[in-house]
């Protein structure tokens, strides 16, 4: 396996996802995994009244976008995500980069970069 596999994890606001997905497709990202998550950080929470009880809410709805790339440059993904997701306000999110040892396509047994390629229409 000669090509390096890298996982990029982006945690951000859900309302920015569609634009992110479109821009990632333009640079050649063909597969993503998306999860709804909750998180807290430097953003201030807010207080709500629920059934007469005050509750402090400091967990915010976010999405986690996971991408594994081999042929698409990691820096291109980072630059695209920053361009699309940056509002300049707290809560824009984080990008995490991981080295991946291997990937195996369950159906065919292909490994490495070959496992990431879509061979069927």
Domain ranges of the chain: 5-116
57-76 residue pLDDT tens? 677 889 999 999 999 999 99
What is the C-alpha to C-alpha distance for residues 104 and 75, in angstroms, rounded to an integer?
Answer: 24
Full-model pTM = 0.81
pLDDT confidence band for 45 (50 / 70 / 90): low
Residue ranges of alpha helices (H) inside 9-73 are 17-26
Give 15's contacts (C-beta < 8 A, 6+ positions apart): none
7-42 residue pLDDT tens? 999 999 999 999 999 999 999 998 999 999 988 776
**Class of the 5-116 domain?**
alpha beta
Give 25's contacts (C-beta < 8 A, 6+ positions apart): none
pLDDT at position 107 over 80: yes
Return the pLDDT at 1: 40
92-106 residue pLDDT tens? 999 999 999 999 999
């Amino acid at each position: 396996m000669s090509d390096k596999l890298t996982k990029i994890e982006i945690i951000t606001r859900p309302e920015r996802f569609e634009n992110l997905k479109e821009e990632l497709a333009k640079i050649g990202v063909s597969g993503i995994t998306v999860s709804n998550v909750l998180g807290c950080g430097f953003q201030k929470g807010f207080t709500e009244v629920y059934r007469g009880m005050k509750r402090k809410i400091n967990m915010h709805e976010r999405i986690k976008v996971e991408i594994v790339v081999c042929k698409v440059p990691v820096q291109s993904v980072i630059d695209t995500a920053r361009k699309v997701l940056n509002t300049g306000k707290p809560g824009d999110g984080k990008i995490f980069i991981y080295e991946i040892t291997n990937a195996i396509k369950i159906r065919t047994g292909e490994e490495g970069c070959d496992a990431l390629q879509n061979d069927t229409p």
